[in-house]
């Protein structure tokens, strides 16, 4: 892939967070005339998809890895949830709010735990997002907490007395409700973001600028 | 054998063979270029007192400094960059000097960054500091030297972005922002985070039309393409003086003939309150961050008791080399000639030695090898 970068015309490389986000991103790109036929073939085992005409490459990566690819310059542009951008806190430019994938980062727990958030008590917080949780409690609420990193099904935390509350993404809140938990506080709203490598931003200014302006125009028409 | 002994810690590495040769060659080229502009070499210690690199002076967060203690309990720090050391050195030994001082340096710097991110913790930096010259010609010399350095190193395509922090500071003053808002906004803009800037300005109730103007600075994709456009947005002396300075700088850069490599970006700000005038970064393909960063810092030396303006930049040599290798740019390396002797033949060594000495005195690189042991092997590896 690195070799390809120094052809007469350089490829613009995109790293997309796997799953719904990537599909939605490809939809938006298609609307502004950027397609990648290779990617539509669901049976393909290829890891990197190329649009030779537009000199663009696309690859799918696990969400938290997208900022890493972009920071180190392996991808020029990345699309990933704002939760990942905050959690990874990498040196990348955040150029566009794509508006989809909307949800919220919240502190959740049983209703009885609401009291624990009021008096700067030392409590236990379970989360997939230790950095976000830490920033929220330490710098915004000024509450010292013990953070426990979990890798999934975070809602279990308060149910099995692993933690007092959790910090997690809330979309509809139905998982919470079914398990007797509720949103106690909102940390921040989330949505998909487009991030850019700082060097690419300078070296490929015209192309990235054109791309962002076109997506922006499309999004404002939708709104 | 103890296998553990063979490993180096994460973030540091051995440099050897052709790679090291290329590194030295690049350093030599850059060094002779810098010397040709009249810069004197200085060497400062690898570690210094913590205070020299503290928050008020340095640009590396305290948690990323390698710290240790001396026998009296003072905190010492492995240098994360050179500028504070050079400023200290200039203040100490050239306190009374009123003429400009030109320093250049080269050495390794250390930052204790996170693991598993593919970043080096020890890198070689080379750089210059021009102390005691506040003129626009000094700014021009710096940027010309940045362009010439990259050319000398053999970097083919590169771009130098120039900003002026005073433009933003003037705007903040005009808008009446408090210090905290200014700092927060600067963090958003330096990360090109338009939404965070938008949110922040809304949250802090910054009045229009300032909100809009500040957002234009934050917005990479705005219509502010030229210095002319930027000028029209502001009505305060500080920002206007900043633009005027850049216009003058542009004229100087044209005299140097380097204007084609240069672009202006008034949204380029540093997170730190350290730079006081022009600020610049050089970018090229193949590395994820700027290979050269620099700017004017007119108040740094006063922290060490010498009131003198200064401007400088640092080249990250390891990044330049990585860019060169990714760009497949060849750096010529020397060859080593082998001369063989037969240790079992009386006088053969003497004969070989005489031949080698002759070749060496003519500037050749010669290795003496016993026959049988090394024959057929490339000794330059």
Q: Is the pLDDT of residue A69 over 80?
A: yes
Among A152-156, B35-39, B92-96, B114-118, which is the least confidently predicted range?
Answer: B114-118
Instruction: List C-alpha distances in Å: B185 to A46, A86, B182, B192.
Output: 42, 17, 5, 10
Confidence of residue B374 (pLDDT cuts 50, 70, 90): low
Q: Which two tokens stand for residue B13?
A: 């590495």
User: Same structural domain for residues A96 and A126?
Assistant: no
Q: How many CB atoms lie within 10 A of CB B322?
A: 17
Q: How many CB atoms lie within 10 A of CB B72?
A: 5
pLDDT per position as a tens digit, A24-62: 999 999 999 998 888 887 788 888 999 999 999 999 999
Q: Is the pLDDT of residue B375 over 60?
A: no
Q: Which two tokens stand for residue B260?
A: 């084609």
pLDDT per position as a tens digit, B92-131: 999 999 999 999 999 999 999 887 777 899 999 999 999 9
User: Same structural domain for residues A195 and A184?
Assistant: no
Q: Could you identify the residue written with the tokens 């931003």? A: A201
Query: Quick check: A196 and B192 CB within 8 A?
Result: yes
Angle subtended by helix axes B17-36 and B136-153, to nearest 10? 150
User: Is the distance from CB of B247 to CB of B138 less than 8 angstroms?
Assistant: no
Nearest to A199 among B117, B220, B283 (CB): B283
Domain hosting residue A71, numbered range:
3-101+191-222
Give the chain B residue nearest A12 (alpha carbons).
Answer: B285
User: Same structural domain for residues A142 and A212?
Assistant: no
CA distance A167 to chain B (A): 21
User: Is the distance from CB of B291 to CB of B150 less than 8 angstroms?
Assistant: yes
Greater model confidence, A107 or B185: A107
Chain A stretch 184-213, residues whose beta carbon is closer than 8 A to a beta carbon of chain B: 196-199, 201-203, 209, 212-213
Q: Is the pLDDT of residue A3 over 70?
A: no
User: Same structural domain for residues A115 and A217?
Assistant: no
- Burial class, B50, CB count within 10 angstroms (exposed 0-12 / middle 13-18 / buried 19+): middle
Question: Can you name the CATH fold of B10-326?
Answer: BirA Bifunctional Protein; domain 2 (3.30.930)
**Number of folded domains that form chain A:** 2
* Integer Cα distance of B170 and B328 in angstroms: 44
Return the DSSP state at A63: G
Average pLDDT, chain A: 91
Query: Quick check: A72 and B288 CB within 8 A?
Result: yes
Q: Is the pLDDT of residue B379 over 50?
A: no
Confidence of residue B373 (pLDDT cuts 50, 70, 90): low
* Integer Cα distance of B125 and B169 in angstroms: 30
* Integer Cα distance of A168 and A159 in angstroms: 15
For residue A139, report the phi and psi dihedrals to the nearest 5 degrees: -95, -25
Q: Could you identify the residue written with the tokens 């933690």? A: A163
* Integer Cα distance of B347 and B344 in angstroms: 9
Q: Is the pLDDT of residue B339 over 70?
A: yes
Q: Which of B242, B244, B246, B245 is nearest to B162 (CA)?
A: B246
CA distance A70 to chain B (A): 8
Instruction: Say what the pLDDT of residue B197 is.
Output: 85
Q: Is the pLDDT of residue A8 over 70?
A: no
- The arithmetic mean of pLDDT across residues B15-22, rounded, is 92
Confidence of residue B55 (pLDDT cuts 50, 70, 90): confident
Report the complex ipTM.
Answer: 0.82
A-to-B residue pairs, Cβ atoms closer than 8 angstroms: 71
Confidence of residue B221 (pLDDT cuts 50, 70, 90): low
- The arithmetic mean of pLDDT across residues A171-193, rounded, is 94
pTM: 0.87
pLDDT per position as a tens digit, B189-200: 887 777 788 888
User: What proportion of chain A, given as a percentage, has pLDDT over 70?
Assistant: 96
For A46, the enclosing helix (H) or strand (E) is none
Q: What is the CATH number of the domain that holds A199?
A: 3.40.190.10
User: Same structural domain for residues A180 and A109?
Assistant: yes
Extents of the domains making up chain B:
10-326, 337-370
Give the chain B residue nearest A197 (alpha carbons).
Answer: B288
Q: Which two tokens stand for residue A181?
A: 């938990």
pLDDT per position as a tens digit, B138-166: 999 999 999 999 999 999 889 999 999 99
Confidence of residue B380 (pLDDT cuts 50, 70, 90): very low
CA distance A213 to chain B (A): 7
User: Same structural domain for residues A93 and A199?
Assistant: yes
* Integer Cα distance of A49 and A72 in angstroms: 20
User: Is the distance from CB of B174 to CB of B235 less than 8 angstroms?
Assistant: yes
- The arithmetic mean of pLDDT across residues A194-220, rounded, is 91
Instruction: Say what the pLDDT of residue A5 is.
Output: 40
Q: Is the pLDDT of residue B209 over 90?
A: no
């Amino acid at each position: 892939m690195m070799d390809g970068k120094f052809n007469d015309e350089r490829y613009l490389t995109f790293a997309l967070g796997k799953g719904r986000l990537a599909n939605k991103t490809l939809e938006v790109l298609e609307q502004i005339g950027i397609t990648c036929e290779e990617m539509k073939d669901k049976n393909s085992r290829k890891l990197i998809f190329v649009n030779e005409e537009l000199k663009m490459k696309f690859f799918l990566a696990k969400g938290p890895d997208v900022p890493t690819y972009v920071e180190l310059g392996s991808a020029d542009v990345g699309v990933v949830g704002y939760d990942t951008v905050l959690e990874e806190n990498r040196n990348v430019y955040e150029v566009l709010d794509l508006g989809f994938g909307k949800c919220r980062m919240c502190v959740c727990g049983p209703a009885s735990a609401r009291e624990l958030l009021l008096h700067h008590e030392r409590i236990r917080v379970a989360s997939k997002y230790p950095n976000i949780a830490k920033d929220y409690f330490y710098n915004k609420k000024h509450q010292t907490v013990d953070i426990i990193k979990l890798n999934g099904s975070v809602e279990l935390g308060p149910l099995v007395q692993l933690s007092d509350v959790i910090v997690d993404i809330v979309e509809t809140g139905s998982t919470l409700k079914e398990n007797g938990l509720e949103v106690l506080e909102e940390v921040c709203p989330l949505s998909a973001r487009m991030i850019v490598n700082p060097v690419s931003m300078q070296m490929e200014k015209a192309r990235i600028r054109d791309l962002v302006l076109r997506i922006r125009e499309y999004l404002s028409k939708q709104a | 054998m103890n296998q553990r002994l063979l490993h180096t810690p994460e973030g540091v590495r051995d440099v050897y063979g052709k790679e090291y040769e290329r590194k030295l060659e690049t350093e030599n080229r850059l060094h002779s270029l810098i010397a040709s502009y009249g810069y004197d070499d200085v060497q400062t210690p690898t570690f210094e007192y913590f205070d020299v690199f503290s928050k008020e002076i340095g640009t590396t967060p305290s948690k990323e400094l390698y710290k240790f203690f001396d026998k009296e309990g003072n905190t010492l720090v492995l240098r994360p960059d050179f500028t504070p050391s050079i400023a200290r050195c200039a203040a100490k030994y050239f306190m009374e000097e009123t003429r400009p001082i030109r320093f250049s340096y080269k050495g390794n710097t250390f930052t204790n960054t996170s693991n598993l991110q593919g970043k080096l913790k020890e890198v070689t930096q080379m750089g210059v500091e021009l102390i005691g010259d506040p003129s626009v010609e000094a700014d021009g010399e710096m940027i010309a030297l940045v362009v010439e350095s990259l050319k000398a190193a053999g970097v083919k395509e590169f771009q130098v972005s120039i900003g002026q922090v005073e433009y933003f500071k003037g705007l903040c003053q005009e808008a009446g922002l408090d210090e905290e808002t200014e700092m927060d906004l600067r963090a958003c803009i330096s990360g090109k985070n338009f939404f965070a800037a938008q949110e922040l300005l809304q949250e802090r109730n910054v009045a229009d039309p300032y909100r809009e103007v500040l957002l234009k600075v934050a917005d990479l994709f705005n219509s502010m393409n030229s210095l002319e456009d930027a000028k029209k947005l502001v009505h305060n002396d500080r920002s206007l003086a900043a633009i005027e300075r850049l216009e003058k700088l542009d004229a100087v850069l044209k005299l140097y003939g380097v204007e084609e490599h240069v672009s202006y970006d008034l949204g380029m700000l540093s997170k730190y309150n350290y730079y006081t005038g022009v600020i610049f970064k050089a970018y090229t393909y193949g590395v994820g961050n700027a290979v050269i960063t620099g700017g004017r810092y007119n108040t740094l030396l006063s922290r060490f008791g010498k009131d003198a303006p200064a401007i400088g930049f640092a080249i990250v040599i390891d990044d330049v080399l990585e860019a060169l290798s990714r760009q497949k740019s060849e750096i010529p390396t020397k060859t080593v000639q082998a001369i063989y002797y037969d240790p079992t033949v009386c006088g053969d060594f003497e004969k070989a030695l005489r031949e080698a000495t002759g070749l060496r005195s003519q500037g050749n690189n010669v290795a003496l090898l016993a026959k049988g042991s090394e024959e057929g092997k490339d000794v330059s590896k």
